[in-house]
Chain A
């Protein structure tokens, strides 16, 4: 502590430096939270499903001849909902958690632009979510394919043969996570009771409208994610005849636009809003 002038204030931060500072600040909090633990346990359901699948398959009377990697393709629907849930929990918390805990003031009185603060925190949320989603996808795929190949004849090579598909799945799920976290970050920054809004969007709009034939489904991110998916799975396969997915290029551009638009909206909202009134009302 200095005893006399001149005092020595901290460094001036550019926007990217502020974003990195916010990321480093928020990452340990996001990683070691109760929310992450619960989501991690939930993500463990996929490898658990794989174990159940292998166990049932080992019973001769069950007469299941489907190879593990095909079953994994069907489980991809579960993964997409897991991505939605993870993004919902992580994204809405980026700002709303600080408002609920009344700790936002400690962050907004630092020399970090508010937009950089939001983006850094959202990036930390995505990193944490990405670890969870990647762990679920990779462990599920490994148990389904490798376990199947080791236990039963004829599927030993499926693990290696389908690795490129795993790569595409990972890329797609982590991209989808980024899009949804950005959308839910905006909701958390803009609305009171963001969880309610988020659940409505995730499990109402995104989960149903994406499968309705016509143009409306083009207003959902899920439509473009499904269009990029290499798997024809579950309900998607059942309505495949009625639906026509978007092209690959169109889907990538649409998802990039959704991400950019909601990132800008969230940053703009967070920079303009006077949250102190929200804090004082709680």
Chain B
């Protein structure tokens, strides 16, 4: 039996720009991480898998079907796009319900499924607030809710934890693992290795539109872990957070961003750093509103890997 996702010799170019270059891969049920720096071709691959764009060359198959212009396939596929855009004036509840209605669900069934999806991502309480008033974390969760609400077999999640606070990040990672354990085939992109590792051991490394490596995340982690990593955090009290972080041995420097509430920490053991953060927030009351790893950070790691 063929795998749920098959990509054979796929290339995608736009004008002179080659976004994906001769890529072949297959996904088994469960969670697979798609790891690569910004511009590696992650989003382009995901858009081809969801039928948003078609390959310039090669063949993409999802559940045995070519996704381009096959709307029926969308009943079985959920997609969480990277872009942070919405109908800002809609409430989260209305957003999910309306999209279920568009997918052909009767009103009562759409409401029932929307409630289940909101509960799944922890948005029931704030479902009646307008999306325009949501925090970054809430916006990510409502995007996930619309992706999962119709109970798809295949989930394509483009940077679903980008910009989330440590607790929100943990919650989404747990959800992805749970959905994978339910037997869904999930492809989740990120440019943070630690996130992939927390979700799955299966990883695809892509760089400059090519598949660089695939396999067990632990095998490449040791290589990458040696490389220092930058992590940017937004906090109401940058000075206090910096002081607290500098007490950790793995943190080698902290840089303040002029005129903003964000700081950038450099760590030589990112695994430990990420593992420590939820406890820092929950037990010591340190406030971290957003967290991200600069793109050039992973670019440096990949340059280091392909050297």
Contact = CB atoms under 8 A, between A and B. Distances in A.
A110 B120 contact: no
A8 B43 CA distance: 27
A12 B102 contact: no
Interface string B56-89: 0000000000000101111111010101011100
Interface in A71-128: 101-103, 105-114
Contact of A110 (B74, B148, B151, B182): B74
Contact of A11 (B54, B105, B116): B105
Interface stretch (A55-63, A150-158, A167-175, A269-277): A269-277
Contacts of B152: 7, 9
Nearest to A101: B85
Given A10-B104, A103-B86, A2 B151 contact: yes
B101 interface: yes
Given A103-B85, A274-B52, A274-B53, A10 B153 contact: no
Interface stretch (A18-26, A177-185, A220-228, A259-267): A18-26
Interface in A225-282: 271, 274-277, 279-280
A13 B103 CA distance: 8
B79 A109 contact: yes
A38 interface: no
A105 B103 contact: no
B254 interface: no
A24 to B, nearest CB: 6
A109 B305 CA distance: 35
A2 B184 CA distance: 11
B69 A7 contact: no
B99 interface: yes
Contacts of B83: 102, 105, 279
Contact of B184 (A7, A24, A112): A7
Contact of A105 (B52, B69, B148): B52
Contacts of A22: 102
B47 interface: yes
A101 B84 CA distance: 10
A106 B99 contact: yes
A4 B86 contact: no
Contacts of A13: 71-72, 103-104
Given A108-B52, A276-B47, A276-B52, A103 B87 contact: yes
Contacts of A29: 87
Contact of A111 (B54, B74, B79, B87): B74
A21 B14 contact: no
B119 to A, nearest CB: 8
A1 B87 contact: no
A179 B47 CA distance: 34
B105 A113 contact: no
B133 interface: no
Contacts of A107: 102
A102 to B, nearest CB: 4
B102 A109 contact: no
B120 A21 contact: no
Interface of A: 1-5, 7-13, 17-18, 21-22, 24-25, 29, 101-103, 105-114, 271, 274-277, 279-280
10 contacts: A1-B116, A9-B151, A17-B104, A24-B102, A25-B99, A25-B102, A106-B146, A111-B72, A111-B75, A276-B52
Given A9-B153, A12-B72, A18-B71, 4 more contacts: A3-B182, A108-B51, A109-B52, A276-B47
